[in-house]
Amino acid sequence: MADGIIFEKLGVQAATIVTDAFSKSGDAMARRQGFASYRYAMVPHPVSSLTPEECKTRAREILPEVMSILGLEDAAQAPAEPADAAPAAPTNGSRPVSVEGLSDAELRDLERVVEHYYEQGWTDGLPVVPATEERVRDFADYVGRDPKEVVATLAHLDRTCTVELAAVAAIMAGCRKEHFPVVLAALEAFNAPRGWDTGLVQSTTGQCQMVIVNGPIRERLGFNSTGNLFGPGFRANATVGRALRLVILNAFGVRPHEFDQSTHGTPAKYTFCIAENEEESPWEPLHVERGFAKDASVVTAHFARSNLHVENRRSNKPEQVLLTIADSMSYAGSFEAGRGYTVVMGPEHAQLLARQGWTKQAAKQFIWEHWGRTRGELRRFGLLRDDGDEEQFLRFGQSPDSLLLVVAGAKNAGLSTVIPTVSPDFFSQAIAEPRGA
Amino acid sequence: MNATVVNPTGSSAEAPGSLAPRRFRDLNGKTVCLLDSTKFNSDRVLDAIGELLQERYAVKEIVRERKPYFGRPVPIAQAQKLASRCDVVITAVGD
């Protein structure tokens, strides 16, 4: 977008073609350049995976608009609007903004409380929100549960997390009480066999807790399921994921350099919560696949090791996209303890598959069949000692159910993400309706 | 007046433990359990230790055991069984 504007500023008439998935960021860029209503030619997204013939069709379709923007004589439409006035002076640097109803002295007090939490060793390294008794009661009342009720147990360390301790963690993480039922459901999900009882919260493998939210609560509480899926900017995602880590650090007492033996860990240990983009998924949502009603709100959680992008913007063949995903899941370093995966498929990849008749189950089956390495390769890495046919392809997963397939992210590029986990144990738990609402 | 915030930490009521009495000065005639954690190579290290002990002592028996999963403590039933059968246990932690 900036390019067209730069040419305009240089006195050269220009037209910019934008795929519709980028219209919002294009508008933002034009505003930044001082062109609040910059006109451009919009084509359907995506373009990168089109065949040469399809590209020609797109070009024919968009040509009249391009000519119109350029103000060419034989354009069907009127010439482009003149550009807006020059931008306002830049506003770099800090400017004081007043916080209504809060005194400077009170702000200093808040700083002291935040420092107190640091001094006690109760934070994840970031500032926390103070958890007062009143607010903890408010959270417990909201879910209508006894503050002393145990919601999660780490038996081998003789630790439990009560509703009260979960509320404290949620408040410290920045949750509103409306988020608390999601935090509780995620904590309870890991009570399933092969959850908390594995001791994987302490593992050298450094796993975090991935939480996937499905159902109507996503929209109600503002969980992000689209652009910047794993990134910052969304309170519901950020605080629910962070509450789990604060439970592990404080209620369970699993702290780094002590019980937490992670060699590297992952930045996702700060927080790791996404929602499925059910609206742009061509398939049934994850929670429906796992036996819940469509209108139920559900978390699906598991231990997760890392977060690896898979890019294929060029191909429009389902098999090629799926092979790119399966190959990315088959790197040597994941052989030893990467026997489960969550494939977070971008809507563009998922829709490309579905348009050509692929079901979710067929996609999972195909990925599973191509997820692995030959015995010879694994022997070359020193990861395998056994004898046998060097050419034999060894699958890393036990079955297609060693995979979760979730559709999420922005529909603006041919991207997916694969998330390995030590073992394919995925836990789903319904999010209870608040009783004290 | 002091403000109050709720302590976020859990606690466990673990009584201070004490070691078992050291009853022998050597392993002659003793049964030694080597408890493998299932971690890669833990079997090799423990086997080697067993061989070294057998060179030094007239060990009555080496009992090789594996716990089900390295990430958790040995199940109490397995521990009790080994405790009743063995004089000493050697186990290993790590990667």
Instruction: Please identify which residue in the block is written with the tokens 């081998």.
Output: A156
The pLDDT tens digits for A8-38 are 888 888 888 888 888 888 888 788 778 888 8
User: In terms of CA atoms, which chain A residue is nearest residue B39?
Assistant: A336
pLDDT at residue number A37: 83
Residues of B in contact with A164 (CB under 8 A): 6
Closest Cα in chain B, distance from residue A190 (Å): 16
Rama region for A174: left / alpha / beta (φ>0; ψ in -120 to 50; rest) = left
> Which amino acid makes up residue A270?
Y
Instruction: Please identify which residue in the block is written with the tokens 């008794």.
Output: A133
User: In terms of CA atoms, which chain B residue is nearest residue A383?
Assistant: B40
Q: Residue A404 pLDDT > 90, yes or no?
A: yes
Distances (CA, A) of A37 to A25, A27, A46, A68, A82: 13, 8, 24, 16, 10
Please list the residues that pair with A404 across neighbouring strands: A342
* Among the listed residues A409, A301, A413, A426, the one whose alpha carbon sits nearest the alpha carbon of residue A364: A426
Are B71 and A250 in contact (CB < 8 Å)?
no
Are A250 and B5 in contact (CB < 8 Å)?
no
A:B CB pairs within 8 Å:
56
Q: Residue A83 pLDDT > 70, yes or no?
A: no
Q: Residue A256 pLDDT > 80, yes or no?
A: yes
Q: Name the residue facing B72 among A130, A199, A253 (closest C-beta).
A: A199
Mean model confidence pLDDT for chain B: 88
Mutate to test the interface with A, among B1, B7, B9 (most CBs of A within 10 A): B9
pLDDT at residue number B39: 81
Element (H, E) at A153: strand A150-154
Q: Residue A267 pLDDT > 90, yes or no?
A: yes
Q: Does B16 touch chain A (CB under 8 A)?
A: no
Is the pTM higher than 0.80? The answer reads: yes
Q: Name the residue facing A159 among B12, B69, B73 (closest C-beta).
A: B12
- For chain A, the residues whose C-beta falls within 8 A of a C-beta of chain B are 113, 116-117, 122, 130-133, 136, 156-161, 164-165, 168-169, 172, 197-200, 202-204, 246, 250-253
Quote the CA–CA distance of A376 and A169 in Å, as a whole number. Answer: 48
Residues of B in contact with A252 (CB under 8 A): 10
Give the residue with greater pLDDT, A336 vs A426: A426
User: In terms of CA atoms, which chain B residue is nearest residue A250?
Assistant: B9
Instruction: Note whether A337 and A399 are within 8 A (CB).
Output: no
Position A80 confidence tier, pLDDT thresholds 50, 70, 90 = very low
Closest Cα in chain A, distance from residue B71 (Å): 5
Mutate to test the interface with B, among A114, A129, A159, A255 (most CBs of B within 10 A): A159
Please count the CA atoms within 13 angstroms of the CA of A377 that sit on its side-chain side: 13
User: In terms of CA atoms, which chain A residue is nearest residue B5?
Assistant: A132
Q: What is the ipTM of this complex?
A: 0.72
A300 Cβ contact partners less than 8 Å away, ≥ 6 residues apart: A189, A211, A212, A214, A286, A287, A290, A404, A426, A427, A428, A429
Residues 35-94 of B with CB under 8 A from A: 69, 71-73
Quote the CA–CA distance of A205 and A226 in Å, as a whole number. Answer: 29
The first and second tokens of residue A58, run together, are 């797109």
Quote the CA–CA distance of A303 and A422 in Å, as a whole number. Answer: 8
The pLDDT tens digits for A312-340 are 999 999 999 999 999 999 999 999 877 99
pLDDT at residue number A257: 95
* Among the listed residues A156, A419, A162, the one whose alpha carbon sits nearest the alpha carbon of residue A303: A419
Q: Beta strands of A228-355 (E only): which ranges?
A: 273-275, 298-304, 308-311, 340-345
Residues of B in contact with A168 (CB under 8 A): 6-8
Q: Give the three-state DSSP class for A166.
A: helix
- State the CB neighbour count (10 A cutoff) for residue A337: 16
Mean pLDDT calculated for residue range B54-71: 90
> Which amino acid makes up residue A282?
P
Closest Cα in chain A, distance from residue B72 (Å): 6
Q: Does B95 touch chain A (CB under 8 A)?
A: yes
A96 Cβ contact partners less than 8 Å away, ≥ 6 residues apart: none
Q: Residue A79 pLDDT > 70, yes or no?
A: no
- State the CB neighbour count (10 A cutoff) for residue A32: 13
A277 Cβ contact partners less than 8 Å away, ≥ 6 residues apart: A225, A226, A347, A407, A408, A409, A411
Mean pLDDT calculated for residue range A70-75: 72
Mean pLDDT calculated for residue range A357-363: 98
Closest Cα in chain A, distance from residue B75 (Å): 10
